[in-house]
Chains A and B, each alone.
Chain A
Amino acid sequence: MLLVVTIIASLLLASVPSRAASGVFERTYIVTDRDVYLAGEQVGCSAFCLDAATRRPSTVSSVAYLELHSAEGLALTAKIGLMDGRGAGFISLPKNLPTGSYRLIAYTSLNKNEEGYDWNGVCSKTISVYNTRTRERVKGGVKVVDELNAVAVPVVPSSSASLQLEYPSQAVAGEVVPLSLLLPEGGSVSVSVFREDAVPHRDNATIEAFLDEISGSITSGVSGSFMPDYDGEVIRAHVAGIAPDKIAELAGHTAFIAAPGNKSDVYYSVIDSLGQAVFYTGNILGRKELVSEIEDIDSTSTCHLEIVSPFVTPAVEAPAPLVLHPSLAEDLQSRSSAMQVVSRFASDTLYEWLPVRDNLLFNEAGRITYHLDDYTRFPLMREVFVEFIPEIRARMLGGRRDIQVRLRENDVDSRFSEGSSLIMLDGVPVPDHDKIYNYDPLLVESINIYPFCHVVGPKQFDGIVNFVTYKRNLPSMRFSGNVRVIDFQGVLYPAASTGLEVSGLYPDYRQTALWHPLVEMAPGRGTHLEFHAPLRPGRYSIVVEGITSDGRPVYCRRQIDIVKE
């Protein structure tokens, strides 16, 4: 009897929310546009997040976490937003990144639950980074050799016999070069065209090896309680700046995080008795300054939220050291000059932005917008409300200023909300409506009114008003003592680079002539790409890597010569 009770009690003790054996084991493979970079360049990444059991794109996680490690430890981190197992982005290598070998690992939140997960296995690859501006080197990450064996560029026959790639064997520098791809069974691939030189490549496994190994990489044990980033990144935060015995008093308070801009990146959560808050986002794009505030506490309090880093930073094997030889100097110098030209002139113009998911708080149908430049400018916000915005009024409610929205229900204007509207400045909630009431209207470009009832996480609002300034960065807004502005790393913007946008505007010395990370091919339908041939003549490699819709690898490497006119 005692044994039976013990067994049952053990079962219950182990009953934290757990994943069934039918849960997905994800493996994330990153294709990069090249594997040799200079510090200061961009690494083009294309993510394939697959179900290890079926070898098909996983439909669970919406974020892949990337970490770049050297022999000295973690160098930088990044996040890629995933849609049906695919995602992309450019990682900027800092200009002061030391010369050396780096291991790029990728994982999802589900991988954090796996016992014995191999961080050095199939989901990692090695890249070389040369810093041509300083002598900084990764300790143990560089090997200077007396003799450098010439490394032949591997010409890999297509692993997918069905991939049909049409390209010219030769192109003239400065002209537009066409590429056509066809996969009869359909699939998703990345395409890269980059210049070859004497700088040695890394010996990374291809997607074929990745697919061969992932089924065997499924770990036996699952523990931990990291839930998947299904809708988007799940951001965890905890209360700080308060005595530990006071934390429980904050249980039940709501807190929000919001990224300034004219989008609706605002998320609410309820703080639990341990002082923790979880925000279920739809992926925040780019590097943002998040405004966070715990509501309904003393405005002079220093109590605030701190965001928990989602990165694991595991102990990763140091990659094989990078090889240095004086014969590489000329090519590296040439690359460095090219990189500086691109950095100086390119900015955002090189990129073709790819589709992203919206976060859908605002349904733009039914929005009422007032562009204040279309009206007489008044010096006070209260005059703006009175003179030409009938949908808003300000009243005193319980001794506090309350900006109220006239709701529209069934296409008919009905009541004014009372004490329940969401007032925002550049997408950031302003709970103290007095601040908006006294705000300088000359800083405001437009007022967007959503006269409907909305739900944002645990909170319901009767009407939303978003005051959008010209600068989109909350100018002249004075925050309470408990508001924090946090530097937040969101997911990378997915983008392709073809050079077509800048042809003729400045010398095109790009090392990567074409990078398209998300080429989706319907069965039997070809895809046509074009890129601008850089002005540096030479031999360029065309690499197509991806997966067919029935889970088979696609890998193809060809060469094209770009010649002077």
Chain B
Amino acid sequence: MRRLLLILLSLIPLVAQAQDDYGLYMQEAGEASLLWRGRINVGYDFLFNGTPYWESPDFRSGMIRYNGRDYFDVQINIDAYANQVLVRPQSRHQAMLLNRDEVEYFIIGDRKFVYPRRTYGKAVPDGFCEVLFDGRAKLLMQVTKTLREDPEGRRRSEAGYDGQYHYGIANIFIREVRYYYVSASGEVKQLRRRGDILKCYKDRKKEIRKYVSALEKGQYFNIEQYALRVLRYVEGAE
């Protein structure tokens, strides 16, 4: 009797875990869900330094709006070399390649990523961007990786990756970062230097420059930090 009671008690947590509608569906559908339908990502079968991914090969849990549906608790990563978003089901070690025209956005932690060509067309380059500022205007950051040969390791620091570096491997993924300003009317402009963001607010240039300079006070803001301060000021977020 005691043994029976112990067995039954141990099963209660499983019973008590009722599910919401989404969770019930994803549990029942499993790999048959449309999120996992499509092309498998085969990865890269050559040796390289750096990483083709946005930050690291690690997939992170997030939420993705794909093909008009929201999917939660999904393992997501961005292949910044191929400009693709990858999702990985828990039951597989292989990741799936999503149709990026159908990716509206995805959120990992508090970071939101979009495929801006869906909205702005070819005014933006191909690939995914992180939304650094989302107000009436937007500030987007795009990380791309290019594959180079660097047998002597001179470009090691450009990989932008803290993982182990292997001498003797010539291929390296070099990290490049670009920033884009999108105005309220949908005009897209690449920010190559700090002053470019001020050109977007010509009539308030002096006032904005003065404000941001006061904030800098001995430190130096890079393009991203500078643009963020400007946008927060202009949109009243600061």
B40: contacting residue among A12, A18, A59, A455, CB under 8 A: A455
**Shortest Cβ distance from B75 into chain A, in angstroms?**
15
User: A22 at the A/B interface (Cβ < 8 Å)?
Assistant: yes
User: B184 at the A/B interface (Cβ < 8 Å)?
Assistant: no
User: A60 at the A/B interface (Cβ < 8 Å)?
Assistant: yes
Of listed B5, B32, B33, B38, residue having the most chain A CB within 10 A: B32
- Contact flag A452-B15 (CB < 8 Å), given A5-B5, A84-B68, A457-B31: no
Interface residues of A, dominant DSSP: loop
User: A564 at the A/B interface (Cβ < 8 Å)?
Assistant: no
Bound-complex Cα distance A453 to B4 (A): 49
Residues of A within 8 A of B5 (CB): 1, 4-5, 8
**Shortest Cβ distance from A234 into chain B, in angstroms?**
8
User: B37 at the A/B interface (Cβ < 8 Å)?
Assistant: yes
Residues of A within 8 A of B25 (CB): 227-228, 230-231
Residues of B within 8 A of A18 (CB): 18-19
Residues of B within 8 A of A269 (CB): 32
Residues of A within 8 A of B99 (CB): 358, 360, 363
Q: Is the pair A19, B19 in contact by a Cβ cutoff of 8 Å?
A: yes
User: A377 at the A/B interface (Cβ < 8 Å)?
Assistant: no
Residues of A within 8 A of B12 (CB): 8, 11-12
Q: Is the pair B39, A453 in contact by a Cβ cutoff of 8 Å?
A: yes
Residues of A within 8 A of B22 (CB): 60, 228, 230
Bound-complex Cα distance A341 to B52 (A): 62
- Contact flag A24-B21 (CB < 8 Å), given A8-B9, A409-B42: yes
**Shortest Cβ distance from B145 into chain A, in angstroms?**
14
Residues of B within 8 A of A268 (CB): 32
User: B11 at the A/B interface (Cβ < 8 Å)?
Assistant: yes
User: A209 at the A/B interface (Cβ < 8 Å)?
Assistant: no
**Shortest Cβ distance from B96 into chain A, in angstroms?**
7
**Shortest Cβ distance from B178 into chain A, in angstroms?**
22
User: A316 at the A/B interface (Cβ < 8 Å)?
Assistant: no
User: B176 at the A/B interface (Cβ < 8 Å)?
Assistant: no
**Shortest Cβ distance from A325 into chain B, in angstroms?**
48
User: A83 at the A/B interface (Cβ < 8 Å)?
Assistant: yes
6 nearest A-B pairs in the assembled complex, by CB-CB distance: A20-B18, A453-B40, A230-B25, A15-B15, A231-B34, A8-B8
11 more A-B residue pairs beyond the given contacts A20-B19, A230-B22, with a C-beta to C-beta distance below 8 A? A8-B8, A12-B8, A20-B18, A20-B20, A230-B33, A230-B69, A360-B34, A455-B31, A455-B40, A456-B37, A460-B40
Q: 21 interchain pairs (CB within 8 A)? A: A11-B12, A15-B15, A17-B28, A18-B19, A19-B18, A19-B21, A24-B21, A231-B29, A269-B32, A280-B34, A282-B34, A282-B37, A361-B38, A362-B38, A363-B38, A410-B45, A454-B39, A454-B40, A457-B32, A458-B32, A460-B40
